[in-house]
Amino acid sequence: MTAASTILFDLDGTLVDTAPDLAGAMNHVLASLGRATLPVDRVRHLVGHGARALISRGLMDTGDARPDLVEPAMPLFLQHYAEHIADASRPFDGVERALDALAQRGCRLAICTNKPTGLARALVAALGWTGRFAAVIGADLAPAAKPDAAHVQATLAACAGDAARAAFVGDSATDAGAARNAGLPLLLVSFGYSDVPVAGLGADALIDHYDELVPALARLGLA
């Protein structure tokens, strides 16, 4: 029998549109500093490199990103975000149907995200997804964050996955780098938070809707 495949997913911008709640936390920080707030669509393309980078970019967009402002803003951002983690965050269309189909095919599913693990797991729970994923590994549980291969390898190890029978699904250059560094096939969604054109990131498959995911993985022999 062919070994079960393992499908690793990024979280923000790949499985879930978290931009509204991240924007809420970002704007909470900006308002506390007397700065102008940012529209959700602007924050959407600032996501993907962790909270510290998001705060820095938000500060840069509204004035300057002095280091003495970034660090004190971190706990304010994280507390607000934790308290409002799923107020408006929703799975992208077709996500749950695709996850169900992969599970029915015996695929092992896991999340590999630069989001802190506690926040990632809180979001998963708030969406009613507890039990869907064999592992949820944030950057804090890995030796190094994406795009380092160590993050992918740590996630595979946590869910007993085999790199020879695995693929990575993401939305950004960070995810593309992680997959390539770890030697995994790469699938990218076209509707995520990438700040560069995803068509130029060298994906093995680019999908415009989650209805396309299972067929794309099947063509790679992984579903």
Cite the active site residues.
10
Tokens linked to 9? 């997913």
Distances (CA, A) of 59 to 28, 42, 75, 116, 117: 12, 13, 15, 21, 25
Distances (CA, A) of 33 to 42, 63, 221: 19, 11, 51
- Unique residue bearing structure tokens 């102008």: 36
Angle made by CA atoms 55, 11, 70, in degrees to the nearest 5 = 10
CB 130 within 8 A of CB 109: no
Distances (CA, A) of 177 to 6, 151, 203, 210: 18, 11, 10, 22
Distance CA 44, CA 13 (A): 8
3 state SS for 133-193: CCEEECHHHCCCCCCCHHHHHHHHHHCCCCHHHEEEEECCHHHHHHHHHHCCCEEEECCCC
